[in-house]
Structure 1
Amino acid sequence: MDQQNGVQIEDLLKLKFVSDPQLSPDGKRLVYVVKEINEDKKYQSNLYMMDVATKKVARWTSGKSMDINPRWSPDGSELLFLSNRTEKMQVWTISASGGEPEIVTDMDHGVSNPSWHPEGHSILYQFTNKKDEENGPIIVDQLRYKADGKPSLTSQSYEQVAQITLDTKEIKVLLEGDADYVYSSYTNDGSGIVYVKFEEDEPESYIQSKVYVYEFDQKPKAISEIKGTLSHPVCSPDGRYIAYVGHDQKYSHATYNELFVYDRESDSTQCLTGKLDIQIGDVMISDLHSIDMSPSLTWSNNSEQLYFLASEFGNTELYAIDLFGNVDKMVEGDRHIYQYAMDDDAKDVYLAISTPAHPGDLVRHDINSLMEEPLTYHNEKLLCNITLSIPEPVQYPSQDGTVIHGWMLKPNDFKAGEKYPMILYIHGGPHMMYGNTFFHEFQCLTAKGYAVLYLNPRGSHGYGQTFVNGCRGDYGGGDYHDLMSGVDHAIESFNWIDSEELYVTGGSYGGFMTNWIVGNTNRFKAAVTQRSICNWQSFYGVSDIGYFFTKGEIGVHMEEDPEKLWYHSPIRFVKHIETPLLIIHGEKDYRCPIEQAEQLYIALKQQKKPTRLVRFPDADHNLSRNGDPAMRMARLEQISGWFDHYRLIPKTSRVANI
């Protein structure tokens, strides 16, 4: 069979998303999740079971539902998992010997984050305590009243915690009230729980949280010392320590996470990572894996070490740290380790890995020998019949000497001596990171004959605290020069790039930068702005995060300096925009609401500038990553179609220099 030259848009339907490996207590079996797109072009996911010794794999659940989050019972006799088989996500259990799953919970609005009691007789879970909606006005009294991805107003609901006893089905609500309780799990002996509570006593304090330990025979006790954003508490096997991650918001949303350990015996807390200038957690951007900044904290059996994921220089890798702050990179490489499971002796680790040439599968890594063994091949059929473009790292000085890192993908039909168009693709966040992971969209563009340049300008994670803080208060300043210097470097370094055939796109912050770029230069032949910000003054009041994100990133509240918000608004340059601009936006995007797209479109259309607005019904801010598959493919067709159209038109016939 002839190989297909490059990835096609419809290949999205063939990809398998392998995730969440969980090793049985005896270390003999591995359960994991495979998500795919079925014949109805809808997502479904099922559990798969592997015999570790024989590597034999069996599908453990079936059907068109979403079965996720498998967790072994303490004795290894059964599994719990979440499933929407009854429409809402509920806890189900299934025997480790096979058979039909049984439903455990029946909450009106579904549940999340389930975990076993250490003795296996109960399950802890999180549920939404939602006020009944009535016809008539909805009264809002707090700043945080909506959230992207949630269809109803969050002021009408709170996240609460309960447990259910399996034999009696008795439900006991453990945490309730007008606050959100999240990241809950049992203590080592099941005599209590640890959790995070979001504070809402003051106007802005909802972005602050505290870690609590709640022994059931005592009152809950706050154990975190800093005021900031904290998450993912986990109790050590011996019960003495509670580890969690977070930061004091010193640099607002650009603040690096630290790893804290609370000693229950001495009632004291230490920061283990004070000298470690990396971002704890997975901040890699990909269109195949939903953004999950979880550090995947895991204690060693002797309670003397912690394992966690961290992101650095375009890679997400596995680290270990002891109680004295000594750090060891356990598993490294130019790749994206997005999840893992470790055996009791910490000799073998089962990794979910993606690379620029592979969407993701499981491998076994021997800690001592460093040897790796592929375990699953769910994407093998697709990969065997497709040629991919493999990225080449680039590195260059920006205008002020700051070193910028990124990658270049050649077109799939590359031939020496010929010239090719190039797309500058800008990531969102801005405090996220491009890196060594698979990108379906990038591969689709190279298959259509484009080079793709993707960079980590200042503001990106992976290059230290100073670097990630570099764009705050300066959007459109140093970051703009980082990107333009990258384009210059690419043209100078790759003589096959056609400098008259340059294109630019990006989403969220990348959409902001696309808007800023076309308002400040005409060097790009066409552009696509996606789920973007164009006006910080209106964004401040309409986004679900606008009223605190704006202060954190631009530096001021609306009432403090509205002119500064206007200064950093790309729509300020709308009369200068000559680049044909496609505007893509989701109708239900609460992060960057669609009014941002509408403003820009009307301002351009009124001037008879070349533009088009494409609205995606029911799509939120995450359309490109986990939106409806048909809509995702339609989005890619719009982007590539826009660039293809202007590729056929001589640049000199439609733009003049500003």
Structure 2
Amino acid sequence: MKPSVLTLSLASSVLLASIMGSANAESTSYLQPVKPTLSGADVFNLEYANDVQISPDGRYIAYVRNSFDIMTDGTRRGIWLVDSETGQHTPLFADQHSYGNPTWSPDGKRLAFTSNRSGRNQIHVYWVAEQRVAAVTEVQSGPSQMAWSPDGKHLAFMMSVEEPKSDFAKSVKMPSKPAKAKWGAAPIVVERTLYQRDGAGVIKSSYNQVFVVPSDGGTARQLTAGPFRHGGPLVWAPDASEIVFSANRNENWEYQSREGDLWAVKLQDNSLRQLTDLPGSESSATLSPNGKYLAFLHSGNAPVPYQNATLHRMAWESGEITAIRTDFDRSFDNPQWIDNRRLAVQYADRGRITVAEINLSGKLTTRVTDVGGIYASRPYTMGMYSVAPETGAIAYTYGTEYDLANVAVNDAGKRRVLTDLNGDVLAQRDLGEVREITYKSSFDDTEIHGWYILPPDYEEGKRYPTMVEIHGGPHLSYGPYFAAEHQRYAAEGFVVLYVNYRGSTSYGEDFAMLLDGHYASERDFADHMSGLDALIEQGIADPDNLFIAGGSAGGIATAYAVGLTDRFNAAAATNPVINWVSKTLTADSSIGQIQNQFPAMPWEDLEHYWQRSPLSLVGNVTTPTLLFTGEKDRRTPMAETEQFYQALQLRQVPTVMVRVPDAYHGVTAKPSRIEAKVAHTVAWFKRYLKNQDAE
């Protein structure tokens, strides 16, 4: 809580001055107005920084400024520039078009980015000194993963390319359509194993390929081909003769969810060579400034739901691979060279993102611990950084409990926050206080760590309606970050408990694996119930007014919990899985989930799938349950929600199904839907409040 402190003495002095008509009125302290709490309309005014990219010399920081548009119900993305020396904050591109992927040239004199300002999405280059911009590609699909050549003359990028029709599709012969005839849409032929993707629906047989284009404009040239999984980041060889990328180019790659290697393609003749062949996946390659070492991340291929990513290096000339650090019990991410002897890496630790230096012997030195704030609706542990190679300064997204990401820089151990994007909104609102909590789970005494938010008008000694809100994944984590949804619940009078239950990341590999074979189960259920018990014991939570909510994995946990207890007044499950058999055989994550989460195919171990399914417990449910799901969800398809709704209706349990049109799994991707989720949940929960005279 960040309350406005009003003292009796201040109030009395103002009253006395008004009565006495003091001649010294100009020196009288006036009572400050009480700040309003966060409203649904405020969500549209939120902004946050992302893709923070510092120039090679550390002078300038380009970043993507995200803001919500109440008229289009979308997100505006512009590119702004911050002078790290003077603090000057300048919009480079902030108009009706969309911008992203800012990427500095090696000399720091140009900034490449993607934008639809010239029609479809293209790569553009901005000359900083001249303040001019030009599109340098004219391609048919959206480019991504840009990388400058060492001499700045070329840009490599990735782009999706559609494969030719299959022999079967070409063999289908239809009669010609008469002129002006209006036929139904043509049938879609699906032949791929991975045929759908959440956010896109049924996808065409198209695959990411590596391209190169002159940085001053020209024809983009395709370097790779074939129906394989290719990914970035792209890395230029020291002599610019090759481009490194990650890929699985095996014939059966769609069935190999844990495999991937580093490859290099020659610009001269498009020939390929495989650089790594470790069991599992190699990714996130980055080349040292002297071109001597290629650092990369590696994850094994064991069929398990979670593994830490470890850090390795490959000698560019010999190909010899050496582990830099494999015994650190956190997962490394986003390695970047600081100089020829040190890299920066980020990892999540107890819900927070840390950026650290690591030398070639594996010694870690912490640099930054407050990275985050790039997920507006819920407090996910998400953020990013970039390094200035000439100075070692680190620019990053700076997130706190009470604000979304701003631009910050850490140079020589000193942090400077360079923006205040929500000073006009969040600083003017009375937000709920965020407090940390640690307790033991009643299942097996496992330590559970998390946070809870108090209503802005919280009074010590008074009990409040309390909801536990459960994160997705389950191999993700929440952290002490601002979340619009949680602060809105607090503003409506609820204490909001959110914890990193067993299976969450940032607490080590063993903790993340505690749900292996038990997702969902009585185990994570106990983790959440024990947290509520702790708040009841502290005199904060009202035991007669307990509620449960969550999305995706949290929606599963919610639906499972109401089959185990009638302790909750009401529940709200967003994007749940209800039946693991139907889910795994219809969702876009089917193969990887079956291979790494379950002991066998659904028809080979039906009992296990059923035991983990909330539908198996539906006969026990008496808790009024709201279901909230996007109609186009491909990760936890709408049919999952429909099964639970229909089952609860058949049992005459109070239930409501909220269907969000045109929404995928990211059901709160539009700002109006952040508030729609909150508004429906609050309305449902308040129907079932007991003995509450203050709402």
Contact 2:356 2:365 in 1 (8 A): yes
Matched with 1:114 is: 146
Instruction: Please give the TM-score of this superposition, normalised by the length of structure 2.
Output: 0.86
Matched with 1:177 is: 226
Contact 1:314 1:334 in 2 (8 A): no
The alpha carbon displacement at 1:215 in A equals 3.9
1:359 lines up with 2:407 in the alignment: no
1:210 lines up with 2:242 in the alignment: no
SS at match of 2:684: helix
The alpha carbon displacement at 1:68 in A equals 1.0
Amino acid in structure 1 at the alignment position of 2:194: R
1:645 lines up with 2:687 in the alignment: yes
Distance 1:531 1:522 in 2: 21
SS at match of 1:556: coil
1:485 lines up with 2:530 in the alignment: yes
Matched with 2:65 is: 34
Distance 2:616 2:391 in 1: 56
Contact 1:585 1:616 in 2 (8 A): yes
Change (3 A) 1:118 1:345: closer
Which of 586, 603, 610 is the equivalent residue of 1:542?
586
The alpha carbon displacement at 1:98 in A equals 5.7
Contact 2:551 2:574 in 1 (8 A): yes
Matched with 1:220 is: 272
The alpha carbon displacement at 1:196 in A equals 0.8
Render the CA deviation track for 1:478-537: whole Å, top value 9, x for unaligned.
Answer: 222222222222211x21311010000001110100000001100000000001101001
The alpha carbon displacement at 1:607 in A equals 2.0
Which of 586, 595, 599 is the equivalent residue of 2:643?
599
Change (3 A) 1:552 1:347: closer
Alignment of 1:469-618 (within 5 A): 469-475=513-519, 476-492=521-537, 494-618=538-662
The alpha carbon displacement at 1:263 in A equals 1.5
Matched with 1:343 is: 388
Change (3 A) 1:330 1:417: closer
Change (3 A) 1:460 1:79: same
Contact 2:201 2:634 in 1 (8 A): no
Across the aligned residues of Structure 1 and Structure 2, the Cα RMSD in angstroms comes to 2.2
Matched with 2:33 is: 2
SS at match of 1:470: helix
1:93 lines up with 2:137 in the alignment: no
Alignment of 1:221-620 (within 5 A): 221-250=273-302, 252-280=304-332, 295-301=333-339, 303-332=340-369, 338-367=383-412, 370-398=413-441, 399-475=443-519, 476-492=521-537, 494-620=538-664
Change (3 A) 1:649 1:608: farther
SS at match of 1:35: strand
The alpha carbon displacement at 1:334 in A equals 8.9
SS at match of 2:93: coil
Contact 1:472 1:552 in 2 (8 A): no
The alpha carbon displacement at 1:431 in A equals 0.3
Distance 1:556 1:333 in 2: 41
Contact 1:5 1:412 in 2 (8 A): no
Contact 1:334 1:436 in 2 (8 A): no
Corresponding pairs, count: 629
SS at match of 2:533: helix
Contact 2:163 2:227 in 1 (8 A): no
The alpha carbon displacement at 1:611 in A equals 0.4
Distance 1:474 1:20 in 2: 36
Amino acid in structure 1 at the alignment position of 2:609: L
Distance 1:49 1:181 in 2: 32
1:142 lines up with 2:174 in the alignment: no
Deviates more, 1:401-410 or 1:520-529: 401-410
The alpha carbon displacement at 1:249 in A equals 3.3
Distance 1:329 1:96 in 2: 33
Distance 1:405 1:168 in 2: 52
The alpha carbon displacement at 1:132 in A equals 7.6
Distance 2:610 2:293 in 1: 48
Render the CA deviation track for 1:175-224: whole Å, top value 9, x for unaligned.
Answer: 11111221023223322111011345236215421111334458422222
Deviates more, 1:70-79 or 1:354-363: 70-79
Distance 1:104 1:645 in 2: 57
The alpha carbon displacement at 1:174 in A equals 0.7
Matched with 1:285 is: none
The alpha carbon displacement at 1:52 in A equals 2.3
Amino acid in structure 2 at the alignment position of 1:173: Q
Contact 1:128 1:160 in 2 (8 A): yes
Distance 1:602 1:87 in 2: 46
Matched with 1:126 is: 158
Contact 2:118 2:135 in 1 (8 A): no
SS at match of 1:279: coil
The alpha carbon displacement at 1:562 in A equals 1.3
Contact 1:121 1:166 in 2 (8 A): yes
- Identical pairs, percent: 28
Amino acid in structure 2 at the alignment position of 1:323: L
SS at match of 1:486: helix
Contact 1:225 1:269 in 2 (8 A): no
SS at match of 1:252: coil
Change (3 A) 1:417 1:535: same
Deviates more, 1:69-78 or 1:51-60: 69-78
Contact 2:257 2:591 in 1 (8 A): no
SS at match of 1:564: helix
The alpha carbon displacement at 1:434 in A equals 0.9
Change (3 A) 1:151 1:82: farther
Amino acid in structure 1 at the alignment position of 2:43: L
Deviates more, 1:547-556 or 1:328-337: 328-337
Render the CA deviation track for 1:347-382: whole Å, top value 9, x for unaligned.
Answer: 532221111122121222233xx3322211111111
SS at match of 1:574: helix
SS at match of 2:505: coil
Contact 2:338 2:388 in 1 (8 A): no
The alpha carbon displacement at 1:468 in A equals 0.3
Contact 1:198 1:206 in 2 (8 A): no
The alpha carbon displacement at 1:131 in A equals 4.6
Render the CA deviation track for 1:385-430: whole Å, top value 9, x for unaligned.
Answer: 1122232111111121211111121111111232200000111000
Amino acid in structure 1 at the alignment position of 2:552: S
Distance 1:164 1:334 in 2: 34
Amino acid in structure 1 at the alignment position of 2:686: D
Render the CA deviation track for 1:567-611: whole Å, top value 9, x for unaligned.
Answer: 111011112111110000011111111110011111111222100
Contact 2:148 2:156 in 1 (8 A): yes
Distance 1:641 1:131 in 2: 49
Change (3 A) 1:180 1:96: same
The alpha carbon displacement at 1:635 in A equals 2.0
Distance 2:676 2:592 in 1: 33
Matched with 1:290 is: none
Contact 1:474 1:554 in 2 (8 A): no
Amino acid in structure 2 at the alignment position of 1:377: D
SS at match of 2:158: strand
Change (3 A) 1:477 1:88: farther
The alpha carbon displacement at 1:118 in A equals 1.6
Change (3 A) 1:334 1:647: farther
Distance 2:154 2:383 in 1: 29
SS at match of 1:214: strand
Distance 2:528 2:303 in 1: 23
Q: Unaligned stretches of 5+ in structure 1?
A: 281-294, 651-658
Render the CA deviation track for 1:283-303: whole Å, top value 9, x for unaligned.
Answer: xxxxxxxxxxxx2321123x2
Distance 1:167 1:19 in 2: 26
Contact 1:279 1:310 in 2 (8 A): yes
